[in-house]
Structure 1
């Protein structure tokens, strides 16, 4: 195999592929990127069984063929190469290593047999669902933060649920202590219902441009979902089983309902969190007529208090303690909203935040003596 690819084209593709290839993969070949050269283009693939990425780039193919090269090492080398045409060629007689040449720079990388690289999921025959890149990125950024970072007992909570329900596309994530739910109106019925690994969606948002409104094709099989656009295909292995019924944790009755300027609340939370005690970053929120009072304290460092004026208020005076980091994550996820509505559950066990698009973010209360 021998192919010629521009460094400016190869470098960003390898950077993305190297994030997929795992240094602790169960098989050494999965630490590599599969290079397949044929008919004027090169296809690059990385796969760890949970997430896969395939990208096709323009190239001048001198000799068709393939090889697997260590992804992170290859990406780092190409990143540091001077701009110009990168000449990648396998080395005879076994063709399991490759030479990398740009101008006077020469390097050789030991690789793997491409026959050892596993086949990526087959999506042939599956009718795709079409979404805009902007719609998808906005949804993922609004709910992805609430998915569990790690949950061995309930791994499905590490994913983001997406499903079509009554004219809307519902996106949802929860780690058991907080929940985010986004509803997007769609023009047509969609046959989609699955729970996607947060890691796959995080990589998807890194690859997509939030302002890019081009169509995105979404293919769902029994085990995988594939997002396809331009010359890129990103796969995520789906979590099996039913996503938890979150309707049971949504409060129905509220002691107080208020509205506050989102940015002002975010800045106030950031300040009082500096003195919040313990790893839960506990901040006491006191909702009363016209004002939301925030208080934090630490036996060793001191205490802080700040008042944020309310835009609207109804109900009774009520106090609730929340993890300040969770509140900040919620404010960040709703950064396009000027105001946020906060509803404190009647039983004081949770607070429900709603942005101007009626997306909801639920945070469980922290039990304190206040």
Structure 2
């Protein structure tokens, strides 16, 4: 095996594939990256049974071959290589990496013990990669981190007609984002729902954010989902179960409606939250005079800031939220204005994206307010 490749492309491919490597594993070969060189292409693959990532780049291939190299060690080497072309080869059981007079030798792992990579599922349709990446980032913030409740650590992907819906919830908040997508001919009828691990899907989003189209594949029977674009192919193992429905939760009959510029409100919350003790809320006092007073703290340690806001459906209303959850929600919106439907203290609050003629329901984020007020 022998190939020559640009250092930047090589380091990028290794870095992306290495994101699939497990942090700890009792199976040593799963800590390896599989390098395959053939026909002017180098592919770098990482796999841990939950996700498989395969990155392809152009390369000058002198001799075809395959090798399994310790992944994190190779990633460390790539980070310190000088710019320019990189020459790699296999000498007996040693993998060599050389660039501008710098030479590394790495041990190899037993290729025969490496499990077969999963077959990518059949294409189901395509979506704009940048729009998909933004949508994943907006909803994944609401996914749970508790691995004892795996369903709540996922992002639910629903495909129906020409619309894709992403949603996530950790029981205390619920984020939903809708966007257009293009199903394959004949696959547009009926709705399909799958649950994907949020952390893995965020990795897919980071890679796909470069633009172009992202092809989405689904396995018949619901075992895996695939994403391919920008020279990277990822296959994710699906989570079992599904998120609870949000239709009833998002029904906000009788709610007061407030609207404010997103950035000033977010910055006000960020500022006053510095005096909030652990588990203490940030309070929002909306009034009909065209402002909301954002404040936090107790006793002498307090902070407050007034921000312009409109309120309809009530003369005044007060709600309080966890500062971290409220900041996560406000940060997830990329529109100039945000709309809040408020049922009152200790009840649900629904945030909508508002931007020009875009649908106010394209991005929604539900939060539970707290009863305890500042």
TM-score scaled to structure 2, two decimals? 0.89
The 10-residue stretch of structure 1 (40-49 or 186-195) with the greater mean CA deviation from structure 2:
186-195
CA contact (8 A) 1:224 1:236 kept: yes
User: Is 1:319 aligned to 2:318, yes or no?
Assistant: yes
Equivalence for 1:23: 23
**Match of residue 368 from structure 2:** 364
Whether 1:163 aligns to 2:161 is no
Distance in 2 between the 1:293 and 1:122 partners? 55
C-alpha distance in 1 between matches for 2:218 and 2:310: 44
**2:176 aligned with 1:181:** yes
User: Equivalents in 2 of 1:346, 1:286: separation in Å?
Assistant: 11
SS at match of 2:297: strand
Please report how far the alpha carbon of residue 108 of structure 1 lies from its aligned counterpart in structure 2 after TM superposition.
Answer: 1.1
The CA deviation at 1:10 is: 0.4
Equivalent residues of 2:286, 2:311 under 8 A apart:
no
Report the Cα distance in structure 1 between the residues aligned to 2:207 and 2:180, rounded to whole angstroms. Answer: 24
Structure 2 match to 1:216: 214
**1:287 matched residue in structure 2:** 286
Quickly say closer, same or farther: Cα 1:38–1:281, change in 2 above 3 A: farther
- In structure 2, distance between residues paired with 1:266 and 1:65: 53
Residues in 2 aligned to 1:288 and 1:43: alpha-carbon distance in whole angstroms: 59
Counterpart pick for 1:147 among 121, 143, 146: 143
SS in 2 for 1:20: coil
Q: Tell me how far apart the structure 2 counterparts of residues 30 and 91 of structure 1 sit (CA, whole Å).
A: 22
The answer on whether the counterparts of 1:340 and 1:353 sit within 8 Å (CA) in structure 2 is: yes
Q: Deviations over 1:216-257 (max 9, x none)?
A: 111111211111124210121111123222234334334421
Contact 1:260–1:312 under 8 Å retained in 2 = no
Would the aligned equivalents of 2:134 and 2:209 in 1 still touch at CA under 8 Å?
no
What's the CA shift string for 1:273-294, capped at 9, x where partnerless? 011121x351112222122222
Report the Cα distance in structure 1 between the residues aligned to 2:345 and 2:304, rounded to whole angstroms: 25
Return the offset for 1:312.
Answer: 4.1
Work out whether residues 281 and 373 of structure 2, in 8 Å CA contact, stay in contact via their aligned partners in 1. Answer: no
SS at match of 1:146: coil
Inter-CA distance 185–265: structure 2 relative to 1 (3 Å threshold): same
What is the CA–CA distance in structure 2 between the aligned matches of 1:230 and 1:288, rounded to whole Å? 49
Maintained 8 Å contact 1:129/1:217: yes
3-state SS of paired residue (2:135) = helix
The residue correspondences of 1:16-95 to structure 2 (distance < 5 A) are: 16-92=16-92, 95=93
Aligned match for 2:113, one of 116, 127, 135: 116
Contact kept in structure 1, 2:123 and 2:217, CA below 8 Å:
yes
Q: Distance in 2 between matches of 1:249 and 1:255?
A: 13
| C-alpha displacement of 1:363 | 0.7
Structure-2 residue corresponding to 1:355 = 353
* Alpha-carbon distance between aligned partners in 2 of 1:322 and 1:236, rounded to the nearest angstrom: 34
**Cα distance in 1, alignment partners of residues 348 and 34 from structure 2:** 48
CA separation of 1:33 and 1:219: change in aligned 2, threshold 3 A: same
Shift in Å at residue 69 of structure 1? Answer: 0.8
Residue-by-residue CA offset, 1:65-116 (whole Å, 9 max, x unaligned): 2111111111111221112332222222xx3x31222242222111212222
Task: Determine the structure 1 residue equivalent to 2:253.
Answer: 253
Maintained 8 Å contact 2:17/2:33: yes
- Asked whether the equivalents of residues 320 and 373 of structure 2 are also in contact (C-alpha less than 8 Å), the reply is no
- Measured in 2, the distance between the counterparts of 1:248 and 1:242 equals 16
- Counterparts of 1:284 and 1:329, CA distance in 2: 16
CA distance in 2, matches of 1:369, 1:198: 32
Question: Aligned partners of 1:90 and 1:327: how far apart in 2?
Answer: 53
1:316-337, CA deviations, whole angstroms, 9 ceiling, x for partnerless residues? 42222201221111221112x1
1:155 deviates by: 0.6
Computed over aligned residues only, the root mean square deviation of the Cα atoms, in angstroms, reads 2.1
How big is the shift at 1:23?
3.4
- Structure 1 residue 24: deviation in Å? 0.7
Residues 1:286 and 1:150: Cα distance change in structure 2 (over 3 Å): same
Q: Distance in 1 between matches of 2:311 and 2:317?
A: 15
Q: Which runs of 5+ in 1 are unaligned?
A: none
Matched, 1:11 2:15: no
